[in-house]
């Protein structure tokens, strides 16, 4: 089954190329923004956007996977609708066309007849990408294709993607905002149990060549199935300087003992939770944009925990990182269920699942992580963290 994961790596890199190309040309990029319609909006933001880049990426992933593995395309679910309305009010269904010429024609409708922009995008969409990891070639894991479902977030942290800041400085390797927080997320799950099996996180904007201003990215993956757990390791810290600005530094996570835990949170996290975290983690609480990027910070060992108490992340935000963390011995759990859980009762951790929607919910809310989430690298460490956190959240809970 490593052939499916190899193909997911390849299509994620093709998707990253599209994201970079759309962002590289400012004139082109200005054409791509369209405000999301009601029902698609993430209630976390007053204004939410989708871009043609989002839709293109999602449809390229679907189309490529269907071509390689017939029948799989209909079980790929994503954040974005593939309907796009241009400035003339015409509704266009965005899809991957068989030929570059047909894609040019379709894109021209979206881009109000801008043929140069359409040709530039179509070229990237149809460009063949060779991208794989030799570590997967020796893996022999047989997973029935008919049990697989796939969640895709084509461009996570769309606001940072649109804003496009390239000069944000990291704090201990963690970027609070900027293009480095943008990720492409592909998570594969078991449609019978909802357990995440494979995950790919592609970070398109990792380092920028200061001479050409072109960006390079990095891709991470993991597979966890019936006792087989493999994952890509983070690259070593680069010592190269001069022409490139590095976007992350891999650090060792906290090892327990007297050292405080470290956590990454959203800027919109509740004050009660942030207050409790500051008492548990001290100054090692970092803020960052993008659910995918915050999860990646845990994968890379930049922090021990990513915690979010709100219900504004979705299955496509968490599935990819969850699969990688499972392969590493970690996982993702429901925040609220963790707070209500009695460890002495012998109940297991409330892991997130991906095969069922929220009962009674409509639109994107049916796929929300309603109880919030906690991403972690070590179950033992998570239990110790929760024990400390509950001590500081309890007084807050009794006052409200």
In the block, residue with structure tokens 């940072």: 160
Q: 289, 220, 301: which is closest to 262 by C-alpha?
A: 301
Q: Looking at 13, 153, 269, 310, which residue is catalytic?
A: 153
The CA-CA-CA angle for residues 148, 151, 156, to 5°, reads 155
54, 190, 304, 334: the catalytic one is: 54
- Residue 190 known to bind ligand: no
Q: Is 155 annotated as belonging to a binding site? A: yes
Whether 158 sits among the annotated catalytic residues: the reply is: yes
**Is 167 annotated for ligand binding?**
no
Alpha helices in 74-214 (DSSP H): 100-110, 115-126, 134-137, 158-163
* 212 CB burial (10 A radius; 0-12, 13-18, 19+): exposed
The token pair that represents 48 in the structure block: 């939410």
Query: What are the tokens at 318?
Result: 């968490």
User: For the stretch 321-332, what's the b/e string if a residue is b when 16 or more beta carbons lie within 10 angstroms of its beta carbon?
Assistant: bbbbbbbbebbb
Residue with tokens 């590493």: 328
Whether 114 and 90 have beta carbons less than 8 Å apart is answered as: no
Residue 128 annotated as catalytic: no
CA–chain centroid gap for 123, Å, is 25
153 is in an annotated binding site: yes
Angle between helices 379-399 and 271-281 (to 10 degrees): 130
Q: The dihedral of CA 112, 115, 121, 122: what is its sign? A: positive
Residue 74 annotated as lining a ligand binding site: no
CA distance 55 to 40: 13
| From 51, 158, 183, 312, active-site residue | 158
CA-closest candidate to residue 66, choices 39, 105, 89, 96: 96
Pairing of the two strands 285-287 and 33-35: unpaired
Q: Which of 156, 304, 310, 311 is catalytic?
A: 156
Catalytic residue among 13, 21, 59, 79: 79
Residue whose pair of structure tokens reads 């029948």 in the numeric block: 71
The closest alpha carbon to 184, from 314, 316, 93, belongs to: 316
φ/ψ of residue 26, rounded to 5: -60, -40
CB 306 within 8 A of CB 283: no
How deeply is 342 buried, as exposed, middle or buried, from its count of CB atoms within 10 A (0-12, 13-18, 19+)? exposed
Active site residue 54: yes
The yes-or-no answer on residue 155 being catalytic is: yes
Is residue 317 part of the annotated active site? The answer reads yes
Q: Which residues are annotated as a binding site?
A: 79, 153, 155-156, 317
Q: Which residues are annotated as a binding site for Mg(2+)?
A: 79, 153, 155-156, 317
Active site residues: 54, 79, 153, 155-156, 158, 317
């Amino acid at each position: 089954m490593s052939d499916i994961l190899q193909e997911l790596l390849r299509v994620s890199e093709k998707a990253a190329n599209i994201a970079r190309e759309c962002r590289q040309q400012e004139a082109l990029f200005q054409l791509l923004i369209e405000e999301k319609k009601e029902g698609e909006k993430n209630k976390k933001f007053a204004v939410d956007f989708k871009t043609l880049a989002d839709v293109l990426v999602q449809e390229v992933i679907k189309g490529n996977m269907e071509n390689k593995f017939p029948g799989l395309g209909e079980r790929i679910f994503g954040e974005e609708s593939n309907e796009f309305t241009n400035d003339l009010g015409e509704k266009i269904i965005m899809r991957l066309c068989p030929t570059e010429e047909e894609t040019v024609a379709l894109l021209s409708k979206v881009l109000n007849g801008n043929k140069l922009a359409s040709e530039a995008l179509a070229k990237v969409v149809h460009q063949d990408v060779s991208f794989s990891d030799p570590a997967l070639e020796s893996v022999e894991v047989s997973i029935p294709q008919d049990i697989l479902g796939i969640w895709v977030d084509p461009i996570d942290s769309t606001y940072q993607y649109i804003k496009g800041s390239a000069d944000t400085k990291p704090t201990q390797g963690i970027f609070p905002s900027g293009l480095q927080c943008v990720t492409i997320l592909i998570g594969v799950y078991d449609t019978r149990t909802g357990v995440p099996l494979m995950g790919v996180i592609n970070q398109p904007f990792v380092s920028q060549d200061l001479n050409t201003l072109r960006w390079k990215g990095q891709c991470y993956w993991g597979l966890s199935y019936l006792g087989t757990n493999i994952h890509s390791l983070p690259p070593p810290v680069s010592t190269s300087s001069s022409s490139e600005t590095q976007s992350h530094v891999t650090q060792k996570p906290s090892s327990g003992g007297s050292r405080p835990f470290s956590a990454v949170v959203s800027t919109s996290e509740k004050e009660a939770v942030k207050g409790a975290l500051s008492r548990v983690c001290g100054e090692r609480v970092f803020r960052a944009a993008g659910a995918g990027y915050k999860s990646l910070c845990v994968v890379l060992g930049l922090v021990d925990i990513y915690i979010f108490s709100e219900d504004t992340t979705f299955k496509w935000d968490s599935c990819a990182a969850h699969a990688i963390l499972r392969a590493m011995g970690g996982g993702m759990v429901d925040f609220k269920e963790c707070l209500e859980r009695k460890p002495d009762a012998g109940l297991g951790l409330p892991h997130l699942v991906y095969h069922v929607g929220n009962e009674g919910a409509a639109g994107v809310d049916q796929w929300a992580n309603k109880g919030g989430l906690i991403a972690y690298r070590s179950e033992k460490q998570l239990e110790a963290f929760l024990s400390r956190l509950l001590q500081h959240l309890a007084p807050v809970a009794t006052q409200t």
